[in-house]
Amino acid sequence: MLINEDGYRLWLRYQKINDDIRLLQYRKMIDGVTILENEQTFDIIKYELDLALPVILDKQVGIGRTGVTGRGLVVGTIDNLRKLNLDIPELDSREMGNEGFLIRQYDGDSNILITANSNTALITGMFHFLRRLQTHHDIQNIDILNTPRIHRRLLCHWDNIDGSIERGYAGRSLWKWNELPNKIDPRYRDYARACASIGINGVILNNVNSQPEILSTEYLLKIVALADIFRSYGIRIYLSPPFNAPAQLGSLRTSDPRKPDVKRWWKEKMDEIYSLIPDFGGFQVKASSEGQPGPHDYGGNHHDGANMLVEAMHDHNGIVLWRAFVYDTTIDKDRAKCAYKGFVPLDGKFDPGVFVQVKNGPVDFQPREPFHPLFGAMPKTPLALELQITQEYLGQAVHLVYLAPMWKEVLDADTFAYGEGSTVSRIVDGSLYANTESAIVGVSNTGSDRNWCGHHFAQANWYAFGRLAWDHYLSSEDICEEWIRMTWSNDPDVVNSIRKMMLGSWEACVDYMTPLGLHHITQEGHHYGPDPAFNGASREDWNSVYYHRADKEGLGFNRSSSGSNAISQYFSPLHKQFDDLAICPEKYLLWFHHVLWDYRLSSGRMLFEELKHHYDGGVEYVAGMKKAWKSLQGKIDSQRFEHVQNKLETQEVNAKFWHDVCMGYFRQFAGDRVS
């Protein structure tokens, strides 16, 4: 009989192996565990193995540090292993760096070693080994050397100090500021465990639309309590400060980054932060954007603000993530072009330690966008990729949408900046331009809901972000299957059914929301549900009609050479491909072209017919997901089954609503071309 679950355990849901062959293999090779580390690391690893191994193996396993024989499972850093004279191959510890780990069979067929150069990397390796057990992988002859491709892998929380979360759909903030630092919620440690298990090594605690109190001594002392917990798991704390903090918190007359007293204020504040949190990671800054204060308010530019902040950290080891989500349409009437025009002239003007943080696409986390043209256009500046895990524009915590395929489409996109092979991922990980530092940021979808993310399947996006941040060469399919096996079941029927649901869910969402390159046609403010007719915003580029430009002739935003010429911001051969209606990828057609209603696509269907085909297909896919999930009744515990079933029923209603609203709206323009 299945026991009901609430989803709290996420993918760290250890279950008994139901494969007898695997069970016998695992029991033979893990008949005891020796951990060779200091008290804190020992406690973390022992706690996790005590949770996992007795359940997975269905027997008790001795775990300790005394009476070391070097048999069974041995967990220890390179330095501690060398004290033991274990019969293992000579290791070059430089291959692992500070965060990589090695899992290797040694001295016969029944002993396994997990080793690393640092204690926190050892914890990461331990979680990776448990993942192999959870997913029923063969561990005979195991030999895994694994290092991260991106150095700073950060979750960004848009949490406010009053406990609310901007674009949060899973309850209140995890951070209970009114209780800290004296009362520590056990959930903080479970959050750190989950992050460490997928390789996250940084957390930005607060909203990019920031409040000055977060930098006050009162709040810094609260943050110290969180930093002390996270540090044990290899996770550093970052903050989003308001740019005008010197005036708001320090009572200066200005926050002009070029003024000596402003520089002095930031230097003193950074010294205070590092005196309390020695491993503080740095700042993420939203400035001169959507009403947020910035250097432009004082006649300066982005590099003036970013360089001033990184200079204040000069005596420490912090970075500045300066967001490029800036779209002043006085620079260009096409919002999609603004960030490029504002930042490319500044390439080479940012000091070491500054990253320009760029969203995956040039507008705003839409269901599908072409990659941001800044990638490849700033070779002298490290660029951090910003992805949105929380589903602001993709059905929030109601719709089942697996986002790894979306992120892979961006990461694998070739910018052609240095010819073929100049992918976005190689720019982000630093390998294309030989940058020694690299960073990726995901806007978190966590909250106080018992299941963390509001939807059991939204947990998959938190998981997938961490796995791709660690290794962007992993496939969406492999990450999907890992998560299913760890979170739901290793039963082949369950794995295959859920895998099929998830892998097509993003494309289906695009189909029933914004097919063929449509974008930004959600309802104003909350961004949930369709409103292609919206035209009442205070800014032109906040209106839906600004983006789709439907008229009696056709549909789409003309960004070709005959329109806004946004295609010129991409390298050859992309700009030629995007510019030519005949060869422009149809998934971006209405992003780059105003297409006539009677234009025939590769399918032979005219534009309106093709729109209908996609909207119909999206709705049908959701109906198929609902049917597939129904077939798993009895194989999933009833509590989680009913939760997901209710969500899918609502998603189907929503998908039909998107279909009806959008098709009805565009039909009035297509007129007699509608079949």
Which residues make Cβ contacts (< 8 Å) with residue 383, sequence separation at least 6?
355, 356, 357, 358, 374, 375, 427, 428
Among residues 6, 107, 190, 364, which one is catalytic? 364
Among residues 334, 392, 414, 652, which one is catalytic? 392
Specify whether 392 is catalytic: yes
Is it true that the peptide bond before 573 is cis, omega within 30 degrees of 0? Answer: yes
**CA-to-CA separations, 373 to 326, 340, 341, 599, in angstroms, rounded:** 14, 7, 10, 28
Give me the phi and psi of 75, to 5 degrees please: -125, 115
Residue 204 near residue 239, CB atoms below 8 Å: yes
Axis-axis angle for helices 119-134, 39-56 (nearest 10): 0
Which residues make Cβ contacts (< 8 Å) with residue 2, sequence separation at least 6?
634, 635, 636, 637, 638
Give start and end residues of each alpha helix (H) in 232-380.
Answer: 245-248, 260-276, 302-312, 335-343
Alpha-carbon gap, residue 530 to 551, rounded angstroms = 18
- C-beta neighbour count of 511 within 10 angstroms: 27
Short-list 211, 207, 210, CA closest to 158: 207
Q: What are the structure tokens assigned to 370, written together?
A: 């072409």
Q: What are the structure tokens assigned to 196, written together?
A: 């460490």
Is it true that the peptide bond before 382 is cis, omega within 30 degrees of 0? Answer: no
Which residues make Cβ contacts (< 8 Å) with residue 565, sequence separation at least 6?
559
- C-beta neighbour count of 287 within 10 angstroms: 24
Among residues 87, 290, 524, 598, which one is catalytic? 290
Residue 414 near residue 470, CB atoms below 8 Å: no
Alpha-carbon gap, residue 673 to 612, rounded angstroms = 13
Query: How many Cα atoms occupy the beta-carbon half-sphere of 408 within 13 Å?
Result: 20
Short-list 7, 463, 478, 474, CA closest to 196: 463
| 3-class secondary structure per residue, 47-60 | HHHHHHHHHHCCCC
Specify whether 414 is catalytic: no
Residue 145 near residue 99, CB atoms below 8 Å: no
Specify whether 609 is catalytic: no
Alpha-carbon gap, residue 167 to 526, rounded angstroms = 8
Enzyme catalytic residues: 290, 364, 392
